């Protein structure tokens, strides 16, 4: 497995931080009376940021795998090249 990029590491940290935040918000919401509705304005900021980070991380993974496949094909071609380029 290859090393994580900075964006991928930050994505993991952000998701863990969001899960911890969500746990504490749920605990706080339980202490409110039933007549108080909970309006989660914080999610208007959190969800787009997390979504953007996840999409950026997935794009990086796909690009890395694609470049790995291409480099493997080039290495394989260099191995078989002497058999096809005889004089």
Say how many domains are in the chain.
1
52: nearest Cα among 42, 62, 64, 60: 60
Residue 48 belongs to a domain: yes
Is 19 among the domain residues?
yes
- What is each CA distance from 11 to 25, 61, 65, in whole angstroms? 21, 13, 19
Residue 15: phi and psi, rounded to 5, are -65, -40
Do the domain assignments include residue 26?
Answer: yes
Query: What's the pTM value of the predicted model, to 2 decimals?
Result: 0.71
The answer as to whether 71 is a domain residue is yes
What pLDDT, in 10s, does the model give residues 14-59?
999 999 999 999 999 999 888 888 889 999 999 999 999 999 999 9
> Residue 71 is part of which domain span?
6-84
| Distance in angstroms (rounded) separating the CA atoms of residues 59 and 17 | 22
> What per-residue confidence (pLDDT) applies to 4?
86
Q: How confident is the model at residue 70 (pLDDT cuts 50, 70, 90)?
A: low
1 falls within a domain: no
What does the block give as tokens for 63?
A: 């690009």
């Amino acid at each position: 497995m290859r090393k994580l990029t900075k964006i991928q590491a930050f994505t993991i940290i952000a998701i863990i931080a969001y899960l911890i935040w969500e746990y504490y918000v749920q605990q706080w919401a339980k202490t409110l009376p039933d007549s108080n509705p909970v309006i989660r304005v914080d999610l208007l900021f959190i969800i787009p940021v997390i979504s953007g980070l996840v999409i950026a991380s997935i794009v990086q993974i796909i690009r890395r795998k694609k470049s790995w496949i291409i480099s493997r094909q080039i290495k394989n071609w260099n191995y078989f090249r002497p058999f096809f380029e005889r004089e």
